[in-house]
Amino acid sequence: MARGSTRPTSRDVAQAAGVSQAAVSLVLGDKWRGRVSEPTAQRVREAASELGYRPNLAARNLRLGRTRTVLLVVPALTTEFFAEVYTGAARVAAAHGFGVVLYPSPEGVGPARDPFASAQAALDGVIASSMAADALTAIRGDQLPLVMLDSDPDGSLGAATVNLDIADGIRQVTEHLLSLGHRSFLHLAADVPSWTFDVRARELAARLADVPGTDLRTVHAPISIEGALTATEAALAAPGPRPTALVCDDDKLAAGAYKAIRRAGLRVPDDLSVTGLDDLGLATAIDPELTTVRLDAEAFGERGMRALLAVLEGRPPEEGDLPVSLVVRGSTAPPR
């Protein structure tokens, strides 16, 4: 404590306990079995807590050459979806002695700076959502082990991928609407370049192509209430017969669509059935409650973290997509 205001180091602890710095490291690192006697170990622990010692992580990271920290790159956290992904990832990480640092790419669409400089932390690996596409070039630059969430499995980055079975979700939605009798579809698609949205469009089109007498139009919108509102308003004002089913790329878009439908003097589901995807809290906050596809965001995050741990340890990551399920609520009904 000669220095007064600087944080105590392991050497300070050693001096207080009357042992060498190495002994402190052994005791506090739990590597002391058969190397340090129990009474001595106890003295060290007491001195450490007495001084309020906290190891200097920068020094530890330098010494060990690893940080046990991974970066989770996600799009702006404007829904709880990625918050839950984080929760799942963080839980698995903690169980393995890892920490997770969140990098939400800035909300404005402007290309992200270098997430690594920005997060400033030294990292062992990266988990990235394919929706945070603007950060990908920076990621590719580094040699860090990488796991992609909801990304093209055959993508050009040689990274492991963890995917939700979005295709199956869209299949279930389509089946549900078809069985209700719908034939005329409008697809409210997210205006974001990402595999996870491509697959929605592809699957919907493919499924409807199998059924004679169906038609499908598509309109794109940025993922926001306002964006969905204006896009849907424009689509509803278009000439030609009005579609009876509106398939939205996610719940937020559906919420925006609700507003447009109300403004047009129409009602859900009487005039138009609407479906979402995510099953956010929003889905049950709006009236009528939204028929949507439930994604298990926490399991998604857990799986992502497990995949990264596997990559770090040279093991092959788990195979297979995560299952999703259709939740039928009040926003879908037979067409009139």
| Closest CB to DNA among residues 17, 260 | 17
> How far apart (Å, rounded) are the C-alpha atoms in residues 333 and 336?
9
Residue 36 site contact among a copy of itself, DNA, none (CB < 5 to 8 Å, cut-off depends on kind): DNA
Cβ of residue 28: shortest distance to a copy of itself, in angstroms?
13
Q: Is 324 helix (H, G, I), strand (E, B) or coil?
A: coil
Tell me if 335 sits within 8 A of 181, measured CB to CB: yes
Q: What residue type is 222 in one-letter code?
A: P
Cβ of residue 301: shortest distance to DNA, in angstroms?
28
Residue 122 site contact among DNA, a copy of itself, none (CB < 5 to 8 Å, cut-off depends on kind): a copy of itself
Dig out the tokens for 6 from the structure: 């600087």
Element (H, E) at 246: strand 245-248
* Residues contributing to the site for DNA (CB under 7 A): 6-7, 9-11, 18-23, 25-26, 28-29, 31, 34-37, 39-40, 53, 55-56, 59-60, 62-65
Pairing of strands 292-294, 325-327: antiparallel
Q: Which of 100, 92, 30 is nearest to 68 (CA)?
A: 100
| Closest CB to a copy of itself among residues 32, 258 | 258
* Residues contributing to the site for a copy of itself (CB under 8 A): 7, 52, 54, 56-59, 61-62, 67-69, 76-80, 82-84, 86-87, 90-91, 94, 98-102, 104, 106-107, 113, 116-122, 141-143, 224-225, 252, 255-256, 258-259, 262, 281-282, 284-287
> How far apart (Å, rounded) are the C-alpha atoms in residues 209 and 13?
72
Residue 26 site contact among a copy of itself, DNA, none (CB < 5 to 8 Å, cut-off depends on kind): DNA
Cβ of residue 57: shortest distance to a copy of itself, in angstroms?
4
Residue 34 site contact among DNA, a copy of itself, none (CB < 5 to 8 Å, cut-off depends on kind): DNA
Cβ of residue 282: shortest distance to a copy of itself, in angstroms?
6
Residue 156 site contact among DNA, a copy of itself, none (CB < 5 to 8 Å, cut-off depends on kind): none
Residue 158 site contact among DNA, a copy of itself, none (CB < 5 to 8 Å, cut-off depends on kind): none
The residues near 26 (Cβ < 8 Å, ≥ 6 apart) are 32, 35, 36
User: Rounded to the nearest 5°, which phi and psi values hold at 106?
Assistant: -50, 150
> How far apart (Å, rounded) are the C-alpha atoms in residues 318 and 285?
35
Residue 25 site contact among a copy of itself, DNA, none (CB < 5 to 8 Å, cut-off depends on kind): DNA
| Closest CB to DNA among residues 61, 214 | 61
Cβ of residue 46: shortest distance to a copy of itself, in angstroms?
17
List 278's β-bridge partners, or say none. Answer: 294
Angle between helices 10-17 and 38-51 (to 10 degrees): 120
| Closest CB to DNA among residues 7, 263 | 7
Tell me if 27 sits within 8 A of 46, measured CB to CB: no
Q: Is 9 helix (H, G, I), strand (E, B) or coil?
A: coil
List 62's β-bridge partners, or say none. Answer: none
Cβ of residue 249: shortest distance to a copy of itself, in angstroms?
16
| Closest CB to a copy of itself among residues 57, 310 | 57
Cβ of residue 183: shortest distance to a copy of itself, in angstroms?
28
Q: Longest C-alpha distance within the chain, in Å?
A: 87
Cβ of residue 51: shortest distance to DNA, in angstroms?
11
Phi-psi region of 181 (alpha: psi -120 to 50; beta: other; left: phi over 0): left
Residue 22 site contact among a copy of itself, DNA, none (CB < 5 to 8 Å, cut-off depends on kind): DNA
List 217's β-bridge partners, or say none. Answer: 186
Residue 150 carries which DSSP code?
S
